[in-house]
Structure 1
Amino acid sequence: MKNLKKLLTLVLVFVALASCKKAGADNSPKTPPSNLIINATVSTDSSGKVNFTASADNAVSYTYEFGNGDIKTAASGNIGYQYTTSGSNTYTVSVTASSSSLLTIKKSIEVTVTVKAAIPTLFWSDEFNTDGAPDPAKWGYDLGTGGNGWGNAELEYYTNRPENAVVQGGVLKINALKENYSGSGYTSARLLSKDKFAFTFGKVEIRAKLPAGVGTWPALWMLGSDISTAGWPACGEIDIMEHLGRTLNTIYGTLHYPGRSGGNADGHTTVIADATTAFHIYALEWTASYIKIYVDGLLFHTTINSGAIPFNHDFFFILNVAMGGGFGGAVDPAFTNATMEVDYIRVYK
């Protein structure tokens, strides 16, 4: 009887082992990919386009790392890709070949790609070539004192008179004058393109000669078009150029936005020669990735743009000469008049 029980036990163990083998995982050998070969054909037209091919034994998919943070997967191993960074750049491209059992092999090659920078196209401009009042299709005016000096305790009264703003001899002239006018001791002009022209992203060039005189505060700048609803500084402000008559030739490039406004603004200065006696080009490059401010091609301020700051919507231009105020400072008692001349303002896309 004991022998029969032992025999039955052995039979049950054999049946159980056979069942486990039948229902268990595949125990066949797993072969990793091998013989990975990568080829790259770089376009010769400076477009940044590259055709990649990859092949390997026992591979069912290929994952490309293009050396610029971008990653894509191609089942066949063939993929087209376009680099966009201007200039000639070398990238380390890595390919991971995977088998059906998720075993992998990885290999890298280097590719040198040339991308020709896109030629900017003129999108909007004012060349100020027609004598008379500034073009009403492009420019309006802020008028008066702005209640408390436009938030800066400025001393001027802004008008739309030809004495304060006129196009003459191929330039826009904004004239600040010492005179008693509607309760203010000075007059000037503040032109703006609000509700006439605004844009998002591009390159701006403004060729201008700045006014002299202690207490003058000329500015070439931009405000977010949503200022009426968002308010300041939530709308964002880009000061392409500010200059103070008390510190001749020091150029300010500044951004204002929540957390970085007023005395805590985001900006830098640079010093140039003859800002008040010669024309210079004040420029802005504005993209979804960065905001850069230049004088005569010299970069002197950069802000990294992102969705966290308000520089991804339409902005309009303001051109003005203020007198005094919290930033402009005290006005020289001997001051009589000063003029900012603007040769042109151009926006490229």
Structure 2
Amino acid sequence: MGIAFFITLLSLVACNKDSGSDNSNVVPANLTVTAQISEDNSGNVAFVATATNAATYEYDFGNGVYQTVPTGKVTYTYPASGNYTVNVTAKSATGSTIKKSVPVAVTVAQTLVWADEFNTPGAPDPAKWGYDIGNGDNGWGNNELQYYTNRLENAQVSNGTLKITAKKEAFSGRAYTSARLLTKGKFAAKYGKIEARAKLPVGVGTWPAIWMLGANIDQVGWPACGEIDIMEHKGSDLNRIYGTLHYPGRSGGNAHGNTTVISNATTEFNIYTVEWTPTVLKFAVNGKEFHSVNNSNNIPFNHDFFIILNCAMGGGFAGPVDPAFTAATMEVDYIRVYK
């Protein structure tokens, strides 16, 4: 009996050791993930993940944002509308994992935070717009041929639109005049949707632009401040719209950009947009996206930017001006900023 009892005891000890070994290598199983999307268009989505033998859960929200959640329950607020694939990884105490993906379609309502509808005739609203005056000798420009003024002849609101007119005329040593309006010191935005409805000028050598510069440009200079070109067009390449980012390592001819071709840039009003979040900048014409750039802390697009409207002549981008050119106008119906 004594020997039998001893053998039985050894067997029990061995079973206990084997059981402990199995527990130390347990693998999560039966992972389920639910997503409850808020109906108030706030961007809030409540996630619940459960799995057998899971000690923690890692969420990849599908937009470059990650979060580790011990309980599996988390509410995440998406900053922009979109269709996202959420990846959830359940992890055991020893590091074994199981994964599951779920799609979510999120609608985020945006609020208008700043706008100019250009409904008051006369000079552009001085509470919203200032002017860059002069030529490229001021330290800005790309070997362009115009002299920027604050005259009504070059920038005027009438019949519900802002008209920036480039003219062939001798002025302060230059052969052309135009205007460059900016919200610097009056309004700046960090993230949001910036939208402009505009009709572009006709003429080889014209270079209209709707764009933004980092509000810290006076402190860090260009391109360190960052530049967001929502729309550029050159009259020598009719109907091709440029959307571009400039920043250190990707500036000038090496900028991060793309183009799209439309049929009526100079004959009809079109809507030019950039949607800008902490994770991405998306460029679109009439709601059709044609370029996107992932945002991060490694590029300078996470601080305030101001808005610029101008029509340049010639220079490194637009090229030679048609000798027959006399005048051309960019009309802007509105500028709106949503957040």
User: Fold match, TM over 0.5?
Assistant: yes
Of 156, 166, 170, 1:166 maps to 156
Distance change >3 Å, CA 250–CA 92, structure 1 → 2? closer
Measured in 2, the distance between the counterparts of 1:257 and 1:313 equals 13
Letter in 2 for 1:190: R
Of 72, 96, 111, 2:68 maps to 72
Unaligned runs of 5+ in 1: 1-26
| Residue 62 (str. 1) matches residue 71 (str. 2) | no
Q: Please name the residue that 1:51 is paired with.
A: 48
Shift of residue 305, structure 1, vs aligned partner: 1.5
Distance change >3 Å, CA 160–CA 107, structure 1 → 2? closer
| Residue 141 (str. 1) matches residue 131 (str. 2) | yes
CA RMSD in angstroms, aligned pairs only: 2.8
Measured in 2, the distance between the counterparts of 1:226 and 1:342 equals 26
Distance change >3 Å, CA 82–CA 126, structure 1 → 2? same
Of 171, 186, 190, 1:196 maps to 186
Q: Please name the residue that 1:6 is paired with.
A: none
Instruction: Specify the SS of the correspondent of 2:289.
Output: strand
Measured in 1, the distance between the counterparts of 2:96 and 2:224 equals 51
Letter in 1 for 2:315: G
Shift of residue 124, structure 1, vs aligned partner: 0.8
Q: Deviations over 1:275-295 (max 9, x none)?
A: 111000110011121111111
Distance change >3 Å, CA 88–CA 319, structure 1 → 2? closer
Shift of residue 247, structure 1, vs aligned partner: 1.2
Q: Deviations over 1:281-320 (max 9, x none)?
A: 1100111211111111121222222222111111111100
Letter in 1 for 2:55: Y
| Residue 180 (str. 1) matches residue 170 (str. 2) | yes
Distance change >3 Å, CA 71–CA 294, structure 1 → 2? closer
CA contact (8 A) 1:48 1:115 kept: no
Letter in 1 for 2:233: H
Of 247, 250, 259, 2:240 maps to 250
Q: Please name the residue that 1:8 is paired with.
A: none
Letter in 2 for 1:137: A
The alignment's TM-score, normalised by the length of structure 2, stands at: 0.82
Q: Please name the residue that 2:75 is paired with.
A: 82
Counterpart mapping for 1:1-349 below 5 A = 29=17, 30-31=19-20, 32-33=22-23, 42-43=35-36, 45=38, 47-54=44-51, 62-66=55-59, 68=61, 70=66, 72=68, 74=70, 78-83=71-76, 93-98=88-93, 110=100, 112=102, 114-147=104-137, 150-349=140-339
Measured in 1, the distance between the counterparts of 2:33 and 2:142 equals 60
Rg larger in 1 or in 2? 1
- For these two proteins, the number of residue pairs brought into alignment is 311
CA contact (8 A) 2:49 2:57 kept: no
Distance change >3 Å, CA 266–CA 67, structure 1 → 2? closer
Shift of residue 106, structure 1, vs aligned partner: 5.9
Instruction: Specify the SS of the correspondent of 2:253.
Output: helix
Shift of residue 161, structure 1, vs aligned partner: 0.8
Measured in 1, the distance between the counterparts of 2:67 and 2:172 equals 65
Shift of residue 274, structure 1, vs aligned partner: 1.4
Distance change >3 Å, CA 28–CA 148, structure 1 → 2? same
Q: Deviations over 1:228-259 (max 9, x none)?
A: 12111111111111111111111111111111
Distance change >3 Å, CA 149–CA 213, structure 1 → 2? farther
Shift of residue 37, structure 1, vs aligned partner: 6.2
Distance change >3 Å, CA 161–CA 71, structure 1 → 2? closer
Letter in 1 for 2:180: R
The alignment's TM-score, normalised by the length of structure 1, stands at: 0.80
Shift of residue 67, structure 1, vs aligned partner: 5.9
Measured in 2, the distance between the counterparts of 1:272 and 1:299 equals 12
Letter in 2 for 1:81: V
Measured in 2, the distance between the counterparts of 1:198 and 1:309 equals 18
Shift of residue 340, structure 1, vs aligned partner: 0.3
Unaligned runs of 5+ in 2: 1-14
Q: Deviations over 1:170-216 (max 9, x none)?
A: 10000111112222211111001100111111111100000001111
Measured in 2, the distance between the counterparts of 1:269 and 1:173 equals 25
Shift of residue 79, structure 1, vs aligned partner: 3.8
Shift of residue 150, structure 1, vs aligned partner: 3.5
Instruction: Specify the SS of the correspondent of 1:152.
Output: coil
Q: Out of 63-72 and 143-152, give the one that drifted further.
A: 63-72
Q: Please name the residue that 2:5 is paired with.
A: none
Distance change >3 Å, CA 343–CA 83, structure 1 → 2? same
CA contact (8 A) 2:56 2:90 kept: yes
Distance change >3 Å, CA 144–CA 96, structure 1 → 2? closer
Measured in 2, the distance between the counterparts of 1:227 and 1:44 equals 40
Q: Out of 335-344 and 45-54, give the one that drifted further.
A: 45-54
